[in-house]
Amino acid sequence: ACSQMQMTPYEALHAATAGGAQALRLADVGTLSEGASADLILWQVHDYREIPYRLGTPPINAVWARGIRVI
C-alpha cells in the first residue's frame, strides 16, 4: 500500500486492521480491546513507520491467532 498506492504507514496499517474491519461491519476485529479477537503480529521495530522499508523481509517477532501464539 505504501509503495504502490502512496499511502502513509499509518494509513496502510489502519486500512489493514480497523479500517478493513469497519468496512466489513466487524466491531470486534481490528482493535485492541477487551473481548476482541486476539489475532495480532508483534513487529521487531522501534517505530511502526519502519515496517514499509522492510519489504520482503518483514521483522516479525511473534504472531497470535485467536489468542494462541503460533510463531
The residues with which 42 forms a beta bridge, in sequence order, are 62
pTM of the model: 0.71
Positive or negative, the CA dihedral 30, 31, 34, 38 is positive
Beta bridge partners of 43: 60
Query: How far is the C-alpha of 11 from the C-alpha of 1, rounded, in Å?
Result: 9
- CA torsion angle for 45, 49, 53, 55 (degrees, to 10)? 80
pLDDT tens track, the chain, 71 positions: 999 999 999 999 888 888 888 888 887 776 777 777 778 889 999 999 999 888 888 889 999 988 889 99
